[in-house]
């Protein structure tokens, strides 16, 4: 699948082709900075070509019955399942995430094609009660060509969350994947082709945000931009798209809290915190970045958390025994290091990690130890800002009220987990959280049927679930006058006129 060392082209109209710039992007392996592949670097001209292809394909795909689109998507899911081992290998090489995590994550991708394939087949429109002599019905019709701008942290999962509902709804798409991880999104092209997706429905133009990304998001021909990325990028893209009245969905930053009440068994709570905080080397929007612990168990939780954190096995991410790989890039590691410094300057206590690991294996990669700060207050920068690395801050609380205030006390509102055995408290707290996703006694769980997205500065719109499908459609309302009675508004007959 690695193209025998040749550069990967852009994927437009069902075939790989060179970029108009003639340039390529060097993709490196974050575990040792070795050269992984070169990928064509697209710009505005290529985005335009991709939109041309998508507009042509839209005429066919939008007219394809939902049941047929559903069958094709099911086939795509099956073909994807067969390719997973190779895709996992490439995904691990691109972003450095531990193979055992990537295997678990990508293993679920076919479910998105099955779920949204089924939605394409079964979605029903409505017949609102207009009353009187009218039949009134709605039709959900595709938007047209949509743009997906995706990040590097879960290259295939995040892309799949966008492709599956947009394809099911009959749209065609142009994808601008992250410049750090464009290979697996390109490879999906062949899988869709084999499944029977018409050429031009799925197009991928790798490139940089400021060039290809900007061209895509500012095109008047794009009917919806669906972006996952940083909050600053989201604001910029939304303002550009707004000028064209292009719909925007954005899944942005987060600072998820893990709220641990004192009836949670210590071992269970600590296992939960490790899972919430450190998978994906902390580079995930729903990372449990803040551990809020009830004061009576705080010291015991911290002691066990530090002990278990120091045991996390960092190493070659392709090794199934490795529990934590490197960060994705020099920039992401610098960000982590910058925040470690900020935390120390703010007076927090470094309870674990805080450095690059020692050893030959780590010399050239972007590794960083899993890190815990204690003696943190809710207003510190390390408790407020998204770090997007393997850093967790621990904050004690006394009461339920205080836990809710701390949890809600950032500009973000993506996800929160609540850990307690008390069922009434769990729901009571959940209902007061300013958080698009709430887990009770769990974290990170996702499903194609389950709406995903944030409150506040964590974004707009929702991925997953029927709402994702609906947000990739526009409603056409058809109002039928069932009466044959003559109607003449301007008849000069002195009769009272009615609208209904």
Are 416 and 259 in contact, with CB atoms under 8 Å apart?
A: yes
| Distance in Å, CB of 153 to ligand TXE, minimum | 5
| Distance in Å, CB of 288 to ligand TXE, minimum | 14
The three-class DSSP label of residue 387 is: coil
| Distance in Å, CB of 205 to ligand TXE, minimum | 11
| Distance in Å, CB of 318 to ligand TXE, minimum | 23
Are 442 and 297 in contact, with CB atoms under 8 Å apart?
A: no
| Distance in Å, CB of 287 to ligand TXE, minimum | 9
Q: How far is CA 419 from the centre of its chain?
A: 24
Residue placing its CB nearer to ligand TXE in the complex, 259 or 415: 415
Concatenate the DSSP letters of all residues of 176-227 into one string. E--TTS-HHHHHHHHHHHHHTPPTTSEEE----IIIIIHHHHT-TT-SEEEE
Are 407 and 240 in contact, with CB atoms under 8 Å apart?
A: no
371: closest CA among 279, 284, 277, 285? 277
94: closest CA among 160, 185, 23, 4? 185
- 251 in active site: yes
Phi and psi angles of residue 266, each rounded to the nearest 5 degrees, phi first = -55, -50
Residue placing its CB nearer to ligand TXE in the complex, 212 or 351: 212
Residue placing its CB nearer to ligand TXE in the complex, 142 or 151: 151
Are 217 and 235 in contact, with CB atoms under 8 Å apart?
A: no
Nearby residues of 103 by Cβ (< 8 Å), 6 or more positions away: 84, 88
The three-class DSSP label of residue 451 is: coil
Q: How far apart are CA 104 and CA 85, in angstroms?
A: 11
Residue placing its CB nearer to ligand TXE in the complex, 208 or 275: 208
Residue placing its CB nearer to ligand TXE in the complex, 158 or 406: 158
Residue placing its CB nearer to ligand TXE in the complex, 116 or 388: 388
287: closest CA among 309, 314, 313, 255? 255
Q: How far apart are CA 215 and CA 21, in angstroms?
A: 14
| Distance in Å, CB of 390 to ligand TXE, minimum | 13
Residue placing its CB nearer to ligand TXE in the complex, 93 or 251: 251
Residue placing its CB nearer to ligand TXE in the complex, 146 or 302: 146
| Distance in Å, CB of 41 to ligand TXE, minimum | 12
Q: How many CA atoms lie within 13 A of 468 on its CB side?
A: 29
Which residues of 60-182 form beta strands (DSSP E)?
134-142, 145-149, 172-176
Which residues sit at the interface with ligand TXE, rule CB under 6 A? 149-153, 176, 178-179, 208-210, 213-214, 217, 228-230, 233, 236-237, 251-253, 285, 335, 386, 388
Q: How many CA atoms lie within 13 A of 306 on its CB side?
A: 15
| Distance in Å, CB of 236 to ligand TXE, minimum | 5
161: closest CA among 449, 460, 454? 449
Catalytic residue among 251, 304, 337, 386: 251
Q: How far apart are CA 392 and CA 343, in angstroms?
A: 11
Residues tagged active-site: 251
């Amino acid at each position: 699948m690695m193209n025998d060392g040749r550069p990967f082209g852009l994927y437009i109209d069902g075939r790989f082709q060179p970029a108009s710039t003639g340039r390529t992007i060097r993709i490196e392996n974050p575990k040792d900075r070795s050269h992984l592949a070169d990928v064509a670097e697209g710009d505005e001209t290529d985005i335009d070509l991709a939109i041309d292809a998508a507009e042509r394909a839209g005429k066919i795909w939008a007219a394809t019955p939902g049941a047929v689109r559903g069958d094709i998507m099911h086939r795509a899911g099956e073909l994807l399942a067969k390719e997973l081992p190779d895709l996992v290998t490439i995904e691990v090489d691109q972003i450095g995430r531990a193979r055992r995590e990537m295997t678990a994550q990508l293993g679920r991708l076919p479910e998105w094609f099955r779920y949204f394939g089924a939605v394409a087949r079964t979605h029903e429109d409505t017949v609102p009660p207009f009353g009187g002599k009218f039949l009134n019905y709605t039709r959900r019709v595709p938007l047209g060509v949509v743009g997906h701008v995706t990040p590097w942290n879960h290259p295939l999962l995040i892309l799949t969350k966008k492709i599956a509902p947009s394809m099911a709804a009959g749209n065609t798409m142009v994808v601008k994947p992250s410049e750090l991880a464009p290979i697996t999104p390109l490879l999906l092209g062949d899988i869709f082709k084999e499944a029977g997706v018409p050429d031009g429905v799925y197009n991928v133009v790798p490139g940089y945000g400021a060039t290809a990304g900007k061209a895509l998001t500012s095109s008047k021909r794009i009917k919806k931009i669906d972006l996952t990325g940083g909050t600053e990028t989201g604001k910029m893209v939304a303002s550009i798209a707004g000028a064209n009245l292009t719909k925007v969905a954005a899944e942005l930053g987060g600072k998820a809290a893990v709220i641990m009440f004192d009836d949670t068994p210590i071992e269970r709570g600590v296992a939960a915190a490790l899972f919430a905080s450190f998978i994906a080397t902390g580079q995930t929007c729903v990372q449990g970045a803040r551990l809020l612990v009830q004061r009576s168990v705080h010291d015991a939780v911290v002691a066990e958390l530090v002990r278990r954190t120091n045991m996390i096995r960092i190493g070659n991410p392709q090794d199934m025994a490795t529990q934590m790989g490197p960060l994705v890039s020099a920039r992401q590691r610098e960000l982590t290091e910058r925040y470690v410094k900020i935390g120390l300057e703010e007076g927090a206590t470094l309870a674990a990690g805080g450095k690059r690991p020692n050893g030959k294996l780590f010399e050239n990669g972007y590794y960083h130890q899993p890190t815990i700060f204690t003696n943190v207050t809710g207003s510190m920068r390390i408790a407020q800002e998204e770090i997007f690395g393997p850093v967790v801050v621990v904050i004690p609380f006394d009461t339920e009220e205080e836990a809710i205030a701390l949890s809600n006390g950032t500009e973000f509102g993506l996800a929160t987990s609540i850990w307690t055995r008390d069922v009434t408290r769990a729901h009571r707290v959940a209902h007061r959280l300013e958080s698009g996703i709430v887990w009770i006694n769990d974290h990170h769980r996702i499903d194609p049927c389950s709406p995903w997205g944030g409150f506040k500065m964590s974004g707009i719109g929702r991925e997953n679930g029927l709402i994702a499908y609906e947000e990739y459609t526009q409603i056409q309302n058809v109002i039928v006058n069932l009466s044959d009675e003559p109607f003449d508004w301007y008849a000069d007959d002195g009769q009272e006129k009615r609208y209904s």
